[in-house]
């Protein structure tokens, strides 16, 4: 769904969807087992609840600085 590169000890954060934990684990195992990707460590976090929805930004209301 989305992937961002970040600073600190984590290089990337990927937002993905899986139908269940079994599918998530299978995907993580496949990624970790692929030496071409060079993945040293995977951390997963399951989103329990969305605290705030972002439906986009009202671009027509932004004031651009020239």
Confidence of residue 55 (pLDDT cuts 50, 70, 90): confident
Number of domains in the chain: 1
User: Does 66 fall in a domain?
Assistant: no
The DSSP letter of residue 9 is T
Q: What is the pLDDT of residue 33?
A: 95
Instruction: Give me the phi and psi of 52, to 5 degrees please.
Output: -150, 140
Q: Which residue has the tokens 């937002």?
A: 15
Confidence of residue 35 (pLDDT cuts 50, 70, 90): very high
- Give mean pLDDT, residues 13-22: 92
User: Does 56 fall in a domain?
Assistant: no
For residue 36, give its domain range.
Answer: 2-49
- Tell me how far CA of residue 13 lies from CA of 21, 22, 26, 32, in angstroms: 18, 20, 18, 15
User: Does 60 fall in a domain?
Assistant: no
**Under a CB-based contact definition with an 8 Å cutoff, are residues 12 and 5 in contact?**
yes
Residue 2, classed as helix, strand or coil, is strand
Q: What is the pLDDT of residue 36?
A: 96
User: Does 13 fall in a domain?
Assistant: yes
Structure pTM?
0.65
User: Does 9 fall in a domain?
Assistant: yes
């Amino acid at each position: 769904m989305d992937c961002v590169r970040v600073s600190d000890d984590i290089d990337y954060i990927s937002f993905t969807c899986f139908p269940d934990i079994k599918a998530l684990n299978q995907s993580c195992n496949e990624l970790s087992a692929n030496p071409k990707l060079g993945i040293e460590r995977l951390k997963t976090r399951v989103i329990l609840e969305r605290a705030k929805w972002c439906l986009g930004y009202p671009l027509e209301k932004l004031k651009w600085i020239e």
